[in-house]
Amino acid sequence: MTDPLAASAAAPLAHHRMARFSARHRWWRPVLGTGFLAVACVLAAALVYGLGDALGAARGYPETPDGTVEFGPVTSTALDLLAIASAIPVVLLAVRWIGRRPAGTVSSVTGSLRWRWLGWCVLAALPVLAATTGVMLLLPTDDGPPARWAGWEVFGPALAMLVVLVPLQAAAEEYVFRGWLTQAVGAFFRSPWWALVPQALLFAAAHGWGTPWGFADLAVFAMVAGWLTVRTGGLEAAIGLHAVNNLLAFGLSAAVVDGLKNDDTAADAPWQLVAVDLVGIALYTAAVLWLARRRTPMVGEITPHPRTLALPSAQDRTVSVHPSEPGSAPAQATAPLAGPGASDTTRYDDLRPV
């Protein structure tokens, strides 16, 4: 029986080391790609906002004092989510064009996103995060006007928009931080911890500075998401956690009057919310590891697709990896690995729970 944890052992490289997948890997490619990613993501987001403003002006929407178009909270939120989601094609382009490797290697060690495994991760996240969200709603809040139900005529369209765009926004952040950045640093360090810490700090910083508790919560979230990515060999577990978390948060905001106008983020969370959130993250992590040891994915979901990997080494050896049939042993390389990835098949030992 194969599972996501066995997949990582069967793959020639750990997920954080997949930048070295190509025989054309050079040390400067992750550095150049990171610079390209930073510039291209800003340009892609600016393009989304520019197109939105142009369409809004053409349709007669009012302008704000700073010259941008005032769409209202729902459409403005949709534009924000689309601007972040635009990072996905940028990451895939950087992997393919600058990294000179298949774009899918940023998704998982199989060379593609494992949709069935992603579905199981979403199912694991839903009850856990719904329960912790319910507990958060019961916590005492600051004095202020009571929240008022927005009504179905507002909440319905907003929820439909969120269901479509929030998963893309969450996935985009995972592709940037747990995908590209982790693999860019992992190209230089065999241990995953060197790759996980920088992306966690950058992820927390990208959400702004609110409270120390909020920053710590975001950093822990990013570390756990990164650890699950390396542990299971792909971004699916991180995307599932992130997408469900954000969908619940945005959904609650959309349910109340002017909720989507609130600029508060997870960085502004008080310690009470952080404590509950950390419990949810821990429960989700345990659920994912439990599922990963018990699910039998379809052929090709977990073990690498048939391909020949040309790994850079003194001998420039070639390693062929083939998918396992259900119930069979995980795929094995037909020749020993040589060069930079030679001992990477043991890279998960230092990540196993003690």
CA distance 163 to 161: 6
Give pLDDT tens digits for 85-130.
999 999 999 999 999 999 999 999 999 999 999 999 999 999 999 9
Residues of the chain with pLDDT under 70: 1-12, 143-144, 296-354
pLDDT at res. 150: 85
**DSSP assignment string, 61-86:** PPBPTTS-B---HHHHHHHHHHHHHT
pTM: 0.82
CA nearest 334: which of 324, 346, 320?
320
Instruction: Give the dihedral sign, CA 170/33/12/305.
Output: positive
pLDDT at res. 153: 92
What tokens appear for 329 in the block?
């042993």
pLDDT at res. 342: 35
